[in-house]
Amino acid sequence: MTDQYAVRVRGLRKRYRDETAVDGLDLDVADGEIVALLGPNGAGKTTTVEILEGHRDRDAGEVSVLGTDPRRAPLRWRRSIGIVPQSARDLSELTVAESLRHFARYYPEARDPDEVIGLVGLTGKAGALVRTLSGGQRRRLDVGLGVVGRPRLLFLDEPTTGFDPEVRRAFWALIRALTTGDGTTVVFTTHYLDEAEALADRVAVIVSGRIVAEGDPATLGGRATAEATVSWRDGTALRSRRTGDPASVVAELTARYGGPVPGLTVTRPSLEDVYLTLIEDGTR
């Protein structure tokens, strides 16, 4: 368990009565990295994150988070962790500013709450009661509460569920700003593949409590080298050919047509295509 890793996990296991939630999972997260955990409901993502946060005990395995075993972590370790859970904290009768000032008192080197309010885009809502916020605004506050203590490691569990597309993209920009500015390490779970592709340096696909594939979004599951589909229009007919060497097919078609090929497209499997295949294979 070396210092270059914010998270190192080996052989993690967790059972709930007769159900295995995490089944021998291994995971490394480097300092400053953004890692997305993908998988279907019940795959073990949230249980894994809760164990890393120190909120749930494990049955077996080695876990090091910022160089410490979470189940024996001291208070100073907890001050280095930021958490944005799926369910919001009950702060309905406080204002946005009061909520952030309250939580800032727990940390010796907290951010200025007013700075955090601006960072998460809630300047105009500083005096508003939390219960009056929209879903997207409330999620921004959750992020503010997660980062007010200047965490070295930030956990986000389904952070943009229920967001509209515009708010989701604003949230992505916020996370990028936090990681770029402070070098914060981020581990997040999501069901949105475009979110993983937009934010993550690396993704890990979890099925039945195990990681079945991991890598950067562009190459996950052999995506970058998978067969491509070359499609073109031949008169009124749409034709296509699957090939491992699309450049040769395009050159052949260009020579055949003596110039630009009508309706030419070259596509490789999307992240969704690869993900669904991994889920199906992992389930079997």
Share of the chain above pLDDT 90, in %: 58
Average pLDDT value over all residues in the chain? 89
Whether 29 shows a pLDDT value over 90: the answer reads: yes
Residues constituting the chain: 284
- Tokens representing 5 are 């890793």
- For tokens 């500083």, the residue is 126
Whether 210 shows a pLDDT value over 70: the answer reads: yes
Q: Which residue has the higher pLDDT, 128 or 277?
A: 128
State pLDDT tens for residues 61-83.
999 999 999 998 998 999 999 99
Q: What's the pLDDT at 284?
A: 64
Q: What's the pLDDT at 89?
A: 67
Smallest CA-to-CA distance from 61 within 21, 17, 32 is with: 21
Of these ranges, 117-131, 211-225, 266-280, the one predicted with the greatest mean pLDDT is 117-131
Of the pLDDT bands very low, low, confident and very high (cuts 50, 70, 90), residue 196 is very high
Q: Distance (Å, rounded) from C-alpha 199 to C-alpha 188?
A: 10
Q: What's the pLDDT at 176?
A: 86
Of the pLDDT bands very low, low, confident and very high (cuts 50, 70, 90), residue 283 is low
Q: What's the pLDDT at 139?
A: 84
Average confidence (pLDDT) over 10-37: 94
Share of the chain above pLDDT 70, in %: 97
- Tokens representing 161 are 């569920």
At 85, is the secondary structure helix, strand, or coil?
coil
Average confidence (pLDDT) over 210-232: 86
106: Cβ contacts below 8 Å, ≥ 6 apart: 79, 149
CB 249 within 8 A of CB 243: yes
Question: Strand runs (DSSP E) across 17-119, as ranges?
Answer: 19-30, 34-38, 60-65, 81-84
Q: Which residue has the higher pLDDT, 56 or 139?
A: 56
How far is residue 36 from each of residues 62, 121, 156, 204, 255, measured CA to CA in Å? 21, 24, 9, 6, 44
Of the pLDDT bands very low, low, confident and very high (cuts 50, 70, 90), residue 3 is low
Q: What's the pLDDT at 158?
A: 87
Whether 1 shows a pLDDT value over 60: the answer reads: no
Whether 174 shows a pLDDT value over 60: the answer reads: yes
pTM of the model: 0.82
